[in-house]
Structure 1
Amino acid sequence: MTLEIIIEKGDGELWGRFQKGNYLATTAGQTENEIESNLRELAVDYWNHEGKTDRSWKGFQEGKLKFRFAYDVQAFFEKHNYLTVSYIAEMAGLNASLVRQYKSGIKHPSLEQVKKIEAVIRELGKELAAVSLYGGS
């Protein structure tokens, strides 16, 4: 079973949550690993106490529980601060000042804006994955 953890930036920490059926688990932590560990504990606890009667948890096995992360725009730029907002905004055809406001949490992007930013990030990922470095002498 794979659950999507939504990561959001909080005041000095990250917030994480997932929803499965009627169950919503939330936690905070300094790292994704801490959030994942906390949410794993919450999922197992839910399963042991209530989840066995929740049809959306059919097939749950503690050892096979996997998570994947999804970031809000603000948390993404916090985590990947080596990427410049200006470059991503330019590549997405967005105003850099507006994207900086998304990053700081002053404004929140529409779904359309999020999709544009996400498309650029995915393309950068493909480019980075194809890089081969030479450490010649």
Structure 2
Amino acid sequence: MYKILAIIEKGADGMYSVRSEQHFGRNYFGGFGESVAVAKEDFLASINEAEQDTRSDGGEVPEYQVEFSYDLPSFFEDFDFINASRFAQYAGVNESKMRQYKSGVAFPSEKTTRKILDAIHRIGSELSSVSL
């Protein structure tokens, strides 16, 4: 399975971009928008266009899977139901610093990024074990 790593980032202009180093033949992917949802939709449309172009050029399109990687402002925008202050407590990160990370004013160290990612994975694990 061909993995397409899609990197989502918030730009200085407040717009969101989705980029990838992967491609089909000579056809690359990219997306932009005023929200993460719009940028992701644009990115997925670019993959569909690349598929069509590659096939019309006589190329093969592999079976693929898209994996999204976020910067923190994009993560909290896409998952806006997560309260950053409460999440900071859960992750063991300073609340004030988390708000700065969320807004893009400051950037977490590698160690703090690992704590944040571990907390995200714990939440996913806890939610997947829920039964209603």
1:130, 1:17 → 2: CA distance? Answer: 33
Q: Which of 34, 43, 54 is residue 42 of structure 2 equivalent to?
A: 34
* Deviation digits for residues 54-106 of structure 1 (CA, Å, limit 9, x no counterpart): xxxxxx84251321111111100001111111122112221111010010011
Runs of 4 or more off by more than 6 Å in structure 1?
A: 46-49
Q: Secondary structure at the match of 2:31?
A: strand
1:16, 1:37 → 2: CA distance? Answer: 12
1:45, 1:113 → 2: CA distance? Answer: 42
1:7, 1:86 → 2: CA distance? Answer: 22
Q: Relative to 1, partners in 2 of residues 1:61 and 1:108: Cα closer, same or farther, differing over 3 Å?
A: farther
Aligned CA-pair RMSD: 2.8
Give 1:110 shift.
Answer: 2.0
% identical aligned pairs? 33
What amino acid is the match of 2:61? E
Give 1:17 shift.
Answer: 0.7
Q: TM-score, normalised by structure 2?
A: 0.75
User: Which has the higher Rg, Structure 1 or Structure 2?
Assistant: 1
2:88, 2:72 → 1: CA distance? Answer: 12
Aligned pairs for 1:38-117 within 5 A: 38-42=46-50, 45=53, 61-62=60-61, 64-117=63-116
1:18, 1:79 → 2: CA distance? Answer: 18
2:55, 2:8 → 1: CA distance? Answer: 22
Q: TM-score, normalised by structure 1?
A: 0.73
1:19, 1:44 → 2: CA distance? Answer: 19
Matched residue pairs, number? 123
Q: Which of 3, 16, 19 is residue 17 of structure 1 equivalent to?
A: 19
Unaligned runs of 5+ in 2: none
